Amino acid sequence: MIDYIKGQIAELTPTYAVVEASGVGYEVNIALPVYTALIEKKETKLYVSEIIREDAHLLFGFLTKGERELFLLLTSVSGIGANTARLIMSGYSASEVRQIIATGNVHALSQVKGLGAKTAQRVIVDLKDKVLKVDLGQGEAVGADETSQTFISVDNETKQEAVSALTMLGFSAAASSKVVDKILKESPDMSVEKVIREALKML
């Protein structure tokens, strides 16, 4: 069982990072806040959750043990898979997810794609008491000290990265492109993470 991976960042996208440790490159699925924290970083330490299936061996990475614990709580709810949990943690920060569940905010939670009101209600019922026990402290995670607001000046680059990430999250390229265009037209200096977050609310 892998607890964490620490090493050089060989590749970074809004949906995954390749971390090289001891000559091995590990592809680790990440949520948007992790991507933002790692921009311009050369190395990182990601706490890992392994999802082992017959057809795949997937790694999901988090900046802190608390974020990983929150992810595991989400996936413990019937109807919430790893990708849906990642969507939830991409649409909101970990502290926002905890607050939404703790306060029973069904509306905010049901805004996540694939999460209807019934499933959102189930998440709240199952986790309302548990999430308050999760410590979301930053710990010793490399890269967790930044709340990067890095902007990419070239709209086309921002668009390509945002559309690519949304496509990898399961949305159609055409619909993603249309929504991203609309967002960038209104806010051309918006960061990639914010573009993706806004798009998640609109798709």
Per the domain annotation, does 120 fall within a domain?
yes
Asked if 165 and 13 count as a contact pair (C-beta separation under 8 A), the reply is yes
CA nearest to 14, candidates 180, 196, 145 = 196
Domains identified in the chain, total number? 3
Q: Please give the pLDDT value at position 156.
A: 73
Helix segments in 23-93, DSSP class H: 32-38, 65-75, 82-91
pLDDT in tens, 149-196: 333 333 578 888 888 888 888 888 888 888 998 999 888 888 888 899
CA nearest to 99, candidates 69, 137, 128 = 128
Per the domain annotation, does 76 fall within a domain?
yes
Mean pLDDT of the chain: 86
Per the domain annotation, does 145 fall within a domain?
no
> Considering Cα of 71, then 203, then 35, then 101, what sign does the dihedral take?
negative
Per the domain annotation, does 29 fall within a domain?
yes
pLDDT in tens, 27-51: 999 999 999 899 889 999 999 999 9
Position 202 pLDDT exceeds 80: yes
Per the domain annotation, does 139 fall within a domain?
no
Per the domain annotation, does 46 fall within a domain?
yes
E strands within 56-168? Answer: 57-62
Mean pLDDT value across residues 23-30:
96
- Long-range CB contacts (< 8 A, 24+ apart) of 56-60? 58/29, 58/82, 59/2, 59/5, 59/26, 59/27, 59/28, 59/29, 60/28, 60/29, 60/30, 60/86
78 and 24, same structural domain? no
Per the domain annotation, does 28 fall within a domain?
yes
Per the domain annotation, does 169 fall within a domain?
yes
Which range of 13-22, 49-58, 130-139, 145-154 scores highest in mean pLDDT? It is: 13-22
Q: Which CATH number goes with the domain that contains 180? A: 1.10.8.10
E strands within 83-172? Answer: none
58 and 26, same structural domain? yes
Q: Please give the pLDDT value at position 155.
A: 52
Asked if 80 and 74 count as a contact pair (C-beta separation under 8 A), the reply is yes
50 and 76, same structural domain? no
